[in-house]
Chain A
């Protein structure tokens, strides 16, 4: 595509464009920098266009806007003294007090003085020997520098003397050791009795009351990122649904959701408890991917199901279901969520919009207890191992917090003592 270069910043623009895409300069205006460059390059016998032939300047302009006068010197217009740093600009000489480049702003503020055009300078201040002049590419380079955002590569934070400095490698090392050591060393587990939160029993009862063959919608709203916690939760609930011979209609809004679901269903089929072997379950479970996110959820409202189970790592997915689908098909909703999503969903449980809420390891543990199905040795080992590592990770976080406060205490004592 043919383009035209902006005379102000040099950016390529579409031919016929009204304004520059980069700097917003008016590409139609005749008073562009290029024109002024041309105007300023006048022969000694000619008169610059801004000055009338008689030498009189337009009346009323300098009175209100004195900076439009080429001879105007502002408060900050100090004479430039050449320094050695000028070489660092690659031959570009810093500006000297002279008529300004940006002078098209007609009014309110004194124009910003970026640099001086050499040709304009010749009309007012005679060039001194040894000064190099700007050429057009150099001017564009300077303008680009001025337009670029300031680079802030250092985190700006109010560092007070009493705040211990954060050195991330130590924190990361400590956290890594807190997780890796239990993996390698197998320390004694400190497992206690998980707390039974409200909502687990009612979730169990809602599923247990399903007649055989009842249609249950399942929204699969987690992917492998959170599968470590969510699979522990989803496994007993799905096993219970299979035990009740429910017909599952599984839908996911996540691209990786169907594969995650298939993996869990496959592991459930492999590890079926002996008492479940006689119970017929749905032979094929088709997990659908629904593109469009929450906007497409109301399309599921036409499915007349007895129950909806939302397996979600985040509270928003449950909220979307309650807002978009539950009012349409009026099916009872059970939420099976990560522990972090529990607090925002408690109000929905108390208002009755959720008939059950199973969250976190605690919820998974108690739901499995209600099922009255002993875990297989492999499941038991995996779960105990996962809990143990989680415990030591949590203890490491507590240790890190204690260290932060201890360092703060020491620093305060040093300053005051």
Chain B
């Protein structure tokens, strides 16, 4: 019984896959007026659907946090703060005649959102330093190669003064080495990864559609 249900599900996926494939194929046809119309209409629908999904997501977030506040769940004050900020930002944009380019919204972005995002991203450097301390070791398996590659790329991509670092004539050779390193082994590996991951995705998708997974 379960096997039959699974097969039905897979056929549904196959059907959806074929419809999507035909749609994408049609969108790639050039010079066919009907194809152009279908493509433009289809992607307009996609954008509208995505916009509606975004709004639904906002509604879902609001409803979720309202329920948390009403039930008095743990950290409900954070939910209240989230709703207050959301209301303030949305209200500012809606009430101002300038809309999303209103001075208050611009200030919120410049003074709060932009520095906040940048600060959060900047925290990454601390964790990367900790990871470098832990894993870029000569004694670890493959660690020596990783360490050499890391130092080479870091040295070449950071605009150090070669003379000040005592690398007067060496810097150019290091740059050449790094360029060769990127052009030959790294490039070969990356192309292998790109092609391999695409093929693996294709095979996995086919196996899934045929019910082999």
In Å, the complex CA distance between A301 and B158 comes to: 37
A138 at the interface (CB under 8 A from B): no
A18 at the interface (CB under 8 A from B): no
Shortest Cβ gap from B48 to chain A (Å):
9
Interface of B, helix, strand, loop or mixed by DSSP: helix
Q: Which among A49-57, A94-102, A168-176 touches the partner chain? A: A168-176
In Å, the complex CA distance between A295 and B139 comes to: 45
Q: Is the CB of B46 within 8 A of A295?
A: yes
In Å, the complex CA distance between A46 and B126 comes to: 71
**Closest partner residue, chain A, to B27 (CB atom):** A298
* Chain A window 62-97, contacts with chain B (Cβ cutoff 8 Å), 1 for yes, 0 for no: 000000000000000000000000000000000000
B18 at the interface (CB under 8 A from A): no
Q: Is the CB of B44 within 8 A of A299?
A: yes
Q: Which residues of A contact B43 (CB under 8 A)?
A: 296, 298-299
**Closest partner residue, chain B, to A160 (CB atom):** B139
In Å, the complex CA distance between A259 and B187 comes to: 36
Select which of A175, A339, A396 is within 8 A of B157 by beta carbon. Answer: A339
Q: Which residues of B contact A189 (CB under 8 A)?
A: 161
B47 at the interface (CB under 8 A from A): yes
A220 at the interface (CB under 8 A from B): no
A393 at the interface (CB under 8 A from B): yes
Q: Which residues of B contact A365 (CB under 8 A)?
A: 159
* Chain B window 41-67, contacts with chain A (Cβ cutoff 8 Å), 1 for yes, 0 for no: 001101101110110000000000000
Tell me how many residues of A have a C-beta within 8 Å of chain B: 66
Interface of A, helix, strand, loop or mixed by DSSP: helix
Q: A195-B175, A404-B133 are in contact. Are A347 and B157 (CB under 8 A)?
A: no
Tell me the residues in window 312-342 of chain A with beta carbons closer than 8 Å to chain B beta carbons: 327-328, 339
Q: Which residues of A contact B179 (CB under 8 A)?
A: 197
Q: A172-B126, A224-B113, A391-B159 are in contact. Are A190 and B164 (CB under 8 A)?
A: yes
Shortest Cβ gap from B167 to chain A (Å):
9
Q: Is the CB of A292 within 8 A of B47?
A: yes
Q: Which among B8-16, B77-85, B114-122 touches the partner chain? A: B114-122
A405 at the interface (CB under 8 A from B): yes
**Closest partner residue, chain B, to A412 (CB atom):** B139
In Å, the complex CA distance between A301 and B40 comes to: 9
A352 at the interface (CB under 8 A from B): no
Q: Is the CB of B182 within 8 A of A346?
A: yes
Select which of B118, B139, B154, B190 is within 8 A of A224 by beta carbon. Answer: B118
Tell me the residues in window 155-186 of chain B with beta carbons closer than 8 Å to chain A beta carbons: 156-165, 171, 175, 179, 182-183, 186
Select which of A166, A194, A225, A263 is within 8 A of B159 by beta carbon. Answer: A194
In Å, the complex CA distance between A226 and B124 comes to: 12
A276 at the interface (CB under 8 A from B): no
In Å, the complex CA distance between A176 and B27 comes to: 52
Q: Which residues of A contact B162 (CB under 8 A)?
A: 192-193
In Å, the complex CA distance between A193 and B168 comes to: 11
In Å, the complex CA distance between A166 and B175 comes to: 33
A291 at the interface (CB under 8 A from B): yes
Tell me the residues in window 155-174 of chain A with beta carbons closer than 8 Å to chain B beta carbons: 162, 166, 168, 171-172, 174
Q: A192-B171, A225-B120, A404-B136 are in contact. Are A346 and B158 (CB under 8 A)?
A: no
Select which of A171, A343, A394 is within 8 A of B190 by beta carbon. Answer: A343
Q: Is the CB of B133 within 8 A of A259?
A: no
Q: Is the CB of A362 within 8 A of B132?
A: no
Select which of B110, B130, B160 is within 8 A of A171 by beta carbon. Answer: B130
Shortest Cβ gap from B133 to chain A (Å):
4
**Closest partner residue, chain A, to B132 (CB atom):** A401
B145 at the interface (CB under 8 A from A): no
Q: Which residues of A contact B28 (CB under 8 A)?
A: 327-328
Shortest Cβ gap from B61 to chain A (Å):
14
Shortest Cβ gap from A22 to chain B (Å):
19
Q: Which residues of B contact A408 (CB under 8 A)?
A: 137-139
In Å, the complex CA distance between A299 and B183 comes to: 34
Residue of B40, B132, B165 with most partner-chain A CB within 10 A: B132
Q: Is the CB of B47 within 8 A of A290?
A: yes
Q: Which residues of B contact A346 (CB under 8 A)?
A: 182-183, 186-187, 190
Shortest Cβ gap from A352 to chain B (Å):
14
Q: Which residues of B contact A393 (CB under 8 A)?
A: 125
In Å, the complex CA distance between A171 and B125 comes to: 11
**Closest partner residue, chain A, to B172 (CB atom):** A195
Q: A299-B44, A347-B190 are in contact. Are A291 and B129 (CB under 8 A)?
A: no
* Chain B window 120-154, contacts with chain A (Cβ cutoff 8 Å), 1 for yes, 0 for no: 11000110111011101111000000010011001
Q: Is the CB of A362 within 8 A of B121?
A: no
**Closest partner residue, chain B, to A228 (CB atom):** B118
Q: Which residues of B contact A175 (CB under 8 A)?
A: 125-126, 129
11 contacts between A and B (CB under 8 A): A171-B133, A189-B161, A195-B157, A227-B118, A228-B118, A256-B113, A291-B47, A298-B39, A390-B158, A391-B158, A397-B129
A-B pairs, 8 with minimum CB distance: A292-B50, A299-B43, A224-B114, A192-B161, A225-B121, A291-B50, A404-B133, A224-B117
Q: Which residues of A contact B (CB under 8 A)?
A: 162, 166, 168, 171-172, 174-176, 179, 189-195, 197, 223-228, 256, 258-260, 262-263, 290-293, 295-296, 298-299, 301-302, 327-328, 339, 343-344, 346-347, 350, 360-362, 365, 387, 390-391, 393-394, 396-398, 400-401, 403-405, 408, 412
15 more A-B residue pairs beyond the given contacts A361-B157, A401-B133, with a C-beta to C-beta distance below 8 A: A166-B134, A189-B161, A191-B159, A192-B159, A194-B159, A195-B175, A223-B117, A259-B109, A263-B109, A291-B53, A293-B50, A302-B40, A394-B158, A398-B151, A401-B151
